[in-house]
Structure 1
Amino acid sequence: MSKTGHAFYFVIAVVLMTTLGCSQPKPQTLTIAAAANVQYALDSLISIFEQETGTGCEVVVSSSGKLTAQISKGAPYDIFLSADMKYPELLYGEGLLKNKPVVYARGSLVLWGPSMSDSADLWQLLSSDEIRKIAIANPKIAPYGIGAMEVLTSMNLLDGVEEKLIYGESIAQTNHFMTSGATGLGFTAKSVVMTPQMRNVGKWVEVNTAYYTPIDQGMAIINHEGYELPSAQAFYDFMRSSRAQSILNYFGYQTDF
């Protein structure tokens, strides 16, 4: 056979191998945009989901407001786990979500400090002259920050402590302010203080829900024009399963509502 013939069959072989290779199913990677409060529980949730489905997961953590802005601009996320329902409902109104958002868990707000008694009074803690700085998440973009501001307003403390407030861009940054010693107290999610890393660090008091609006965590599948990801629906269904709910309960979330 001539060299030209050999070259021709070599090209055909490469084309066939490439075509066959492209036709083989490739493992899917799911990209999850998650509010900072749920990142700790999400580690455990994703570990089980990946083992059961073989689907890899990548997580982008930020404040709900920032993630919403990114999704609006076309960020390539597949699932949105918000710290409230307002932001996913905005995206749904813009036609950017595959399904109407649902509440997958309800979060609780706590006040954390390096040391306090188990019977500590919330009002006395916040109004104490010994407390120079109080950390909260930025209420403009973080639902747990909105909750903290509602608490201070409900307790008629906002005017007295407003100059003490230090704003984190998310619960994650707020936690850093608290644990680094930059503040005397801080409002954070109960899911944070329930992590193994924080269970024996400092003290915390759960805030009575009479002082703030329940923090309903929203979940939705992001709409991709022209195609669907079965793994996104699978994760959505998994998050509503009893197994996922038991993990969320362990991290201080309510699921029986």
Structure 2
Amino acid sequence: MKKIILGLVFLCSSIFAGQVNIAVAANVSYAINELIAEFNKTNPDTKIQVTLGSSGKLTAQIKNGAPFNIFMAANMKFPESLYEDKIAITKPVVYAQGALAMLSSKELDYSKGINLIKEDSISKIAIANPKTAPYGTAAVEAIKNANLEEATKDKFVYAESISQTVTYATTAADIGFIAKSSLYDEKLSKYKENVNWASVDPTLYTPIKQGIVIINNAVDNAEVKAFYDFILGEKAKKIFVDYGYIVK
């Protein structure tokens, strides 16, 4: 029986050898494939398994034992909570800073800035759930700081993640607050700045500092550390910049 058990343990170890499981905030979905491709140029034997979602939901999954090795969140709050609970073994650090944009499939007058959303022609505004998605939180903050909360309170359509917000913004809603990085996806290349989209005034919301941590199940895992170091390195920074992020 011992030999059988040992054999099963070895088999399971072999199946997962060379695989790094990462939980990734939905706004990074547009850049993650290029990041992985660049990493695999020097680490060809390491398979990166990606799970995308809102940072709040991914945090809950990690706290419930989901087998992620790295968490790339859309803000610092969620990875900080993992570190405080001793679920993460590295202190959260910023890997990129995101920005908000407004997007519509329609041609709109973006010279009005965020005040555009109070127009009668805008009846549905898509935002990510502010309870679980940091970009949704930032959108709500921007709307409040622009004193538009009362004028728009009945217009909101909530999405589960920022990537779903993009879908809503171009289908079910008149406009949506999205991650600016989304606009670098080829599928959205037909939408033009100041015609279909515009950046949201960054003074209206707290800077979206996105944090990364290594989860405690990956202690002493060299491949996990290699990918973590890559994300904080110069090659990854260049990719993030290419997708509209700010890096320092």
Larger-gyration structure (1/2)? 1
**3-state DSSP class of the match of 2:22?**
strand
2:92 — aligned with what? 101
Q: Are residue 252 (structure 1) and residue 248 (structure 2) matched?
A: no
Distance 1:129 1:76 in 2: 47
Distance 2:16 2:47 in 1: 11
Match of 1:166 among 157, 170, 184: 157
Once the two structures are superposed, the pairs formed by residues 1-257 of structure 1 within 5 Å of their partners are 27-53=17-43, 54-116=45-107, 120-179=111-170, 181-201=171-191, 203-224=196-217, 228-256=220-248
Distance 1:51 1:73 in 2: 34
Whether the 8 Å CA contact 1:108–1:215 is kept in 2: the answer is yes
Q: How many residues align?
A: 238
Whether the 8 Å CA contact 2:89–2:216 is kept in 1: the answer is yes
* Alpha-carbon spacing, 1:119–1:32, altered in 2? closer, same or farther (3 Å): same
User: How big is the shift at 1:116?
Assistant: 3.5
Unaligned runs of 5+ in 1: 1-13
Whether the 8 Å CA contact 2:110–2:116 is kept in 1: the answer is no
Question: Alpha-carbon deviations, 1:19-75, whole Å to 9, x = none?
Answer: xx8798974111110010001101100111123212001100010000000000110
**TM-score, normalising length: structure 1:** 0.87
**3-state DSSP class of the match of 1:50?**
helix
Distance 1:124 1:222 in 2: 42
Distance 1:222 1:144 in 2: 23
Distance 1:149 1:215 in 2: 13
Distance 1:25 1:169 in 2: 32
User: How big is the shift at 1:241?
Assistant: 1.2
RMSD between aligned residues: 2.3
Distance 1:186 1:47 in 2: 30
Unaligned runs of 5+ in 2: none
Distance 2:15 2:217 in 1: 19
